[in-house]
Amino acid sequence: MAEAVAPPVRPPLRSWPRRAVALARDGFERLGPPRVALVVGMALFALVFGRLVVLRHERFGTFDFDLGIYDQAVWLLAHGHGFDTVRGLGVFGNHVNLAFYLLVPFYWLGAGPNFLNLVMVGSVALAPIPLFRLGRRWFADEWHAVIPALAFLLHFTSQWMVQETFHAEAVAMTPLFFAFLAATERRWRAYAVWLVFAVSWKEDIALAAMVLGLLLAYRGHRAGEHEVRRVGVVTVVTALGWFLLCTRLIIPAFSPAGVFYEDFFGPLGDSPWALADTAVTNPTAVTRQLETANALGYARDLLAPYGFTPLLSPGVLLLGAPQALVNLLSANAFTWSLRFHYAALPLAGATLAMIEGIGRRTSLAVRRFLLGLVAACALATTAAWGVSPVSTHYREGFWPLTPNERAAELRRAVRTPPEDASVAATYLLVPHLTHRREVYSFPNPWQEQNWGVAGEDQHDPAGVDWLVIDRLSLSPELDALLDGIVENEDWVVVEAQDDLLVAHRAGAPTR
């Protein structure tokens, strides 16, 4: 007769904390202190900014431009549609964001604006991984490699871009860093995959890819490395071809009135060719615009958090030069700011140039001094210019640190229209109503405002079923327009109190 096997004895409950501590200690020993510091820094960034950006949306602090645009765009792609009514353009008439298709399965499962924001925060938080690996390759010291990797998270532009909510450029920086790392390590298949992934987020990334190809071609030619030169040439041709395909064929196919951002340059020209002609025939107009945009201040503030060390590798710094030049030549002042997503590629170029510029110093003492300078400047500028909890701007209203007293009624208002109803709403409410085929940012479609390229193809107001309006967001002129709409058209008011109006057209679908 077989002997009975005694059941396993479970350890006492009080031993589990000890096991957890032992497991953490084992992980710490395997990773090593530098990598633990890196992981802790990344985790803190993800947790702090992830929480803040979710709070911003939940407390009604996000806008139609651009979170509403992007959220409706992905929802439309997930449901077989293609015209973004927040923007008044086809999804790919705004930008060519092919990577949005990777997000579609999550929208089938119910993802929305907070998902997009967390994707962005997560991507930015992961950027130190390729930066650390690149620094370890140059410095041969993991503690040294941690400093520039975390300096990227401390850079005030990284933090302000997250505060701005989801933008494709912010997500694209990390795959661009991985592509640069792969090129440095001569892993060409990985390089191609990462670069294609980066460019798929937005057509502008091709500008940085083109400069990266020029850099590889030059270095390969200079060092006699034919494979590197060939990869560089292929990158230049492919990136330039993709950018031209996007801006000359794809975007115009979805936006018959043209590429909307080519109007940004005002008197300098309305196309790349016109801009180039102005630069040759009237260079004074270009230099005058650069002075107006404070180009020197732009470069100074971009490089100061890195102690100006990116200047030690000017070739790599040029990765962000095309986008920086586009930003500064624009007639729109918001593109001159380093607080917005327009600065993503200039920041990426500066970050990579910082690492390589320091790594090329042969003296260990010089490298240590430069890394110390980066650490000091990153800490000082993140406190003075950033928007993290340790920054002076943290409590200045950029984050909704206190609950919105009207959140409950606003939430009730945006949940009132049926899911298939056409809605016009004020800009702070639009991102909460974008999972439908038609949602307009009031006063559209009654009065054109930020619609299409030049207000073309305005939709019929009679097609709007519901109004969800926060009157506190309206100017006196728009408030008067709203009164006229409600009085002169056949509307049934569902709620009209505390400066909030919810109404549906007579006969429109209700719950």
- Mean of the pLDDT values across residues 82-111? 97
Radius of gyration in angstroms for the set of CA atoms belonging to the chain, rounded to a whole number? 26
Secondary structure letter of residue 66 according to DSSP: I
Contact between residue 348 and residue 381 where contact means Cβ atoms under 8 Å apart: no
- Model pLDDT, residue 261: 86
SS3 call for 457: coil
Concatenating the DSSP letter of every residue in 86-149 gives: TTTEEHHHH---TTHHHHHHHHHTT--HHHHHHHHHHHHHHTHHHHHHHHHHHHS-HHHHHHHH
- Model pLDDT, residue 31: 79
Beta-carbon count within 10 A of 94 CB: 23
The type of residue at 402 is: T
**Rounded Cα gap, residues 178 and 201, in angstroms:** 15
Residue-wise pLDDT for 138-192, tens only, equals 999 999 999 999 999 999 999 999 999 999 999 999 999 999 999 999 999 999 9
Domain boundaries, the chain: 31-385, 407-505
Residue-wise pLDDT for 32-87, tens only, equals 899 999 999 999 999 999 999 999 999 999 999 999 999 999 999 999 999 999 99
Contact between residue 150 and residue 45 where contact means Cβ atoms under 8 Å apart: no
Q: Which two tokens stand for residue 9?
A: 């004895």
Residue-wise pLDDT for 223-238, tens only, equals 999 999 999 999 999 9
**Rounded Cα gap, residues 277 and 311, in angstroms:** 29
pTM, 2 dp: 0.93
- Backbone torsions φ then ψ of 308, nearest 5 degrees: 60, 15
**Rounded Cα gap, residues 254 and 20, in angstroms:** 55
Whether the upstream peptide bond of residue 443 has omega within 30° of 0, thus cis, is yes
The type of residue at 500 is: L
